[in-house]
Homo-oligomer: A and B are copies of this chain.
Amino acid sequence: MNTDTITAGLLVIGDEILSGRTKDKNIGTIAEHLTAIGIALREVRVVADVEDAIVEAVNALRHRYTYVFTTGGIGPTHDDITADAIAKAFGAGIDVDPRAVAIMKPAYEKRGIELNAARLRMARIPQGADLVVNEMSVAPGFRIGNVIVMAGVPAIMESMLHSATAKLQTGAKVRSASIVVSHAEGEIAELFAAHQAEWPSVAMGSYPSFKDGQYATDLVLRCVDEQSLVDAHRTLAAKLTVAGFKFLQT
């Protein structure tokens, strides 16, 4: 079993998320993907399309986590300032990159899209960065140091995330198991806390819901060690049964 802990921070860049006009979907997608491949997402930040805010956040996160992923702000319009801000954060130069042009030019010709000055902005890549392939709209993302810079449009972000994944170091996968009981959190809290105390290596959380007049609580167990997870899950189910709690799902 791989027991290394590989960590990540995520930086979502965009005025439209902070104004509430666009509802972010990338946080959930990236969180799920990183969990699945064995990278622990430890922190997310959302900042505006403001250079100082981007520079400060990316510098805070890149020194703290194995990887930093960013989304948003790499399109062709004047408000797309992420690439320049990332270059500034690294003290790196930035210019139109021939490798990006070499990818974009033939693909745009084929699609009948003009590679004008605005679109060439999308070929601006910080010095020392590697390109991250985008199979949707072609203009690439990039990786510089431990920072992976991706688009904000969900389908394009996903294409870049999958391209970048092959070169990521991954660690211990956190497995999870859950039991849903038809009781409010306040009823199972004592039993659940005692179970957590018995299994310190298994992280336990409870998530309440209330639907159709029915309380339910989802008890979630998370652990990198499969056997501990199975044992902690089985013994929790047994304790709940003995105490007379009813299950909705196990």
Contact A189 B28 (CB under 8 A): no
Count of identical protomers in the assembly: 2
Within 8 A of B (CB), among A194-250: 196, 203-210, 220, 222
Assuming the contacts A75-B185, A186-B76, asked whether A32 and B20 have C-beta atoms less than 8 A apart, the reply is yes
Task: Report the minimal beta-carbon distance from A157 to chain B, rounded to whole angstroms.
Answer: 13
Interface size on A, residues (CB 8 A): 70
Q: What are the interface flags for A97-113 relative to B under an 8 Å C-beta threshold, 1 for contact and 0 otherwise?
A: 00000000000000001
Among the 9-residue stretches A45-53, A82-90, A159-167, the one with 4 or more Cβ atoms under 8 Å from chain B is A45-53
Contact A189 B27 (CB under 8 A): no
Contact B20 A31 (CB under 8 A): yes
Among residues of B, the one whose C-beta sits closest to the C-beta of A29 is: B20
A130: CB under 8 A from chain B?
no
Among residues of B, the one whose C-beta sits closest to the C-beta of A122 is: B186
Q: Which chain B residues lie closer than 8 Å to A21 at the CB level?
A: 32, 35, 176, 220
Task: Report the minimal beta-carbon distance from A41 to chain B, rounded to whole angstroms.
Answer: 5
Q: Which chain B residues lie closer than 8 Å to A28 at the CB level?
A: 20, 23-24
Q: Which of B20, B46, B47, B77 contacts A193 (CB 8 A)?
A: B77
A62: CB under 8 A from chain B?
no
Among residues of B, the one whose C-beta sits closest to the C-beta of A205 is: B79
Chain A interface helix/strand/loop/mixed: mixed
Q: Which chain B residues lie closer than 8 Å to A168 at the CB level?
A: none
Contact B46 A17 (CB under 8 A): no
Contact A184 B77 (CB under 8 A): no
Q: Which chain B residues lie closer than 8 Å to A2 at the CB level?
A: none
Q: Which chain B residues lie closer than 8 Å to A77 at the CB level?
A: 185, 188-189, 192-193, 205-206
Q: Which of B23, B47, B118, B189 contacts A76 (CB 8 A)?
A: B189
Task: Report the minimal beta-carbon distance from A35 to chain B, rounded to whole angstroms.
Answer: 5
Among residues of B, the one whose C-beta sits closest to the C-beta of A46 is: B44
Contact A43 B44 (CB under 8 A): no
A119: CB under 8 A from chain B?
yes
Contact B189 A15 (CB under 8 A): no
Closest 3 CB pairs of A and B: A20-B32, A118-B189, A20-B31
Interface residue ranges, A against B (CB under 8 Å) = 12, 14-24, 27-35, 40-49, 53, 75-79, 113-114, 116-119, 121-122, 137, 153, 155, 174, 176, 184-190, 192-193, 196, 203-210, 220, 222
